[in-house]
Amino acid sequence: MRHAVWSLLVVAVPVGAAAEPPAWPQYGGTNRNFAGAATGPLPKTTKRLWSIEFGPGTSGIVSDGERLFTHYSVPDPKKSSEGQEVVACLDPKTGKTLWDHRYPVARLKGQESYSGDPIRPQATSAVCGPRLCSLGYTGLLKCFDSASGKILWEYDLVRDFDATPVQFGFSASPLVYGEAFVVHVGGKKAAVVAFNPADGKVLWSSKPAEPSYSSPVVMPATGADVIVQVTRDDVLGLAAKDGRERWRYPLPKTGLTNVPTPIVLPKQRLLISGQGVLGTRLLQVTAAPTGDKVAEVWKNEKVPFFYANWVADERAVFGVSGQFVCGLSLADGKELWRERGQADANFLRIGADALLLRGDGRLSRARLSIDGFDGADGLDLLKGRCWTAPTLLGDVLYARSEKELVAVRFTDGGKD
């Protein structure tokens, strides 16, 4: 494919307009789709604002518009199965820690490391009003006052809900829906539980189902919204008001993992992918008098998207499959193209472009379309393994590896 000169989109606010501080309250942003509105030019340079040393973890960076929040670990140098987890609140202008909460953690029976890794928190925290909800590797769910760091309430999902210890750690990021934190618990008591942010009371819980690494999403539906959750064995459509099951789509009983969070498309369509899905599938949900129906529109068993995120526009879906970035047609699921050289990349869609943060820390821009991958050469942003999607707030990008967290501003001709 043709490669363009490195350039990046910047979010611009019209002169004289009053604007709310940009926020990124949960995994995937406000709408959980890793996309943001953008106008204005394509700056060709970046300015590093600050960087700080950081610990292991793939938890994303969220913001309430005033503060940054993320989650990392301090491994025990003698035992990779033990250490501390740290929920951190940072100043977005300097990276200075405003508060942090540290607690000891040790792998549970049935949990494993990836290639000898230490404990690495993976779920991305969520902000609802003045409260922050975090989920740790072993299923410790905590809610904080986001300004002070005071713990308001907490649960141990394994102890309190008989959740199944997820093999490589609890990874499904809490969802903000209205005045609730919606959490994929997974186990003998419930698949999904909704909590009141103010006091931690259970608002509703769904029927039991075994866990996956996939995070819940909201599907707008006629009459009432639906929470969609991919489990190990099924895709569930749950009434957002009470957790009642509205529909279920059985998956092949492979016992393999499902990592990607589903992508909700207009007209009650849903994209799912993963090892346990056996490729990628497009589902159609239809309301019916006897109950909602879900049907497979197409499947592509040759292109599974694994643990990096994925994005879609009105005609195609894009993500990393193996060593390639692939584009699939939404019309029929056929592969449109593949581009080598973006291994383990996570995506942010900004206007017609996408930012890609590769697994080795290289950041680049690409135009993704049905016609192919038109990408820039990029720049080396971070060192060490980068399995976390970056966060864009205004014209500042925040990104982390297992060793460092950085903030860079996109500028025009070197100007701030």
Q: What pLDDT score does 41 carry?
A: 45
When pLDDT is cut at 50, 70 and 90, the band that residue 382 belongs to is very high
Least confident piece of the model among 3-12, 184-193, 393-402: 3-12
| Residue pointed to by tokens 């993500």 | 319
Chain-centroid distance of CA 204 in Å reads 23
- Tens digit of each residue's pLDDT (9 = 90 or more) over 268-305: 999 999 988 999 999 999 987 777 999 999 999 999 99
Residue 38: the pLDDT is: 54
Lowest mean pLDDT among 29-33, 246-250, 374-378: 374-378
- Closest Cα partner for 350 from 408, 391, 321? 391
Q: Is the pLDDT of residue 16 over 60?
A: no
Asked if residue 335 belongs to a domain, the reply is yes
Q: Which of 22-26, 221-225, 234-238 has the lowest mean pLDDT?
A: 221-225
Number of domains in the chain: 1
**Which residues, at least 6 apart from 319, have a Cβ–Cβ distance to it below 8 Å?**
260, 273, 305, 308, 309, 310, 311, 325, 326, 347
Side chain identity at 316, as an amino acid letter? A
Per-residue CA distances from 74 to 56, 87, 105 (Å):
7, 11, 10
User: Average pLDDT of the chain?
Assistant: 90
At 390, the pLDDT band (50, 70, 90 cuts) reads very high
Whether residue 83 is contained in a domain is answered as yes
Q: What is the pLDDT of residue 113?
A: 83
Residue 347 lies in a domain: yes
Distance in angstroms (rounded) separating the CA atoms of residues 297 and 167: 31
Distance CA 350, CA 340 (A): 22
Q: State mean pLDDT over 203-229.
A: 93
Does residue 75 sit within a domain? yes
Q: Which one is predicted more confidently, 195 or 77?
A: 195
Confidence of residue 413 (pLDDT cuts 50, 70, 90): low
pLDDT value at 416 more than 80 = no
- Tell me the two tokens of residue 339: 């581009």
C-beta separation of 273 from 261 below 8 A: no
Whether 416 is in a domain gets the answer no
Output the pLDDT for position 410.
84
Model pLDDT, residue 213: 95
Question: How confident is the model at residue 29, as a pLDDT?
Answer: 95
- Band of residue 21 on the pLDDT scale cut at 50, 70, 90: low
Which pLDDT does position 6 carry in this prediction? 45
pLDDT of 224 reads 86
Residue with tokens 């210890």: 165
Lowest mean pLDDT of 19-28, 174-183, 244-253, 324-333, name the range: 19-28
Domain range for residue 240?
3-14+21-411
Flag whether 323 is in a domain. Answer: yes
Which CATH number belongs to the domain containing residue 117 in this structure?
2.130.10.10
Give the list of residues 6+ apart from residue 240 with CB closer than 8 angstroms, or none: 177, 178, 218, 224, 225, 226, 227
What are the structure tokens assigned to 64, written together? 């309430």
Those residues whose C-beta lies under 8 Å from the C-beta of residue 332, and which sit 6 or more positions away, are 298
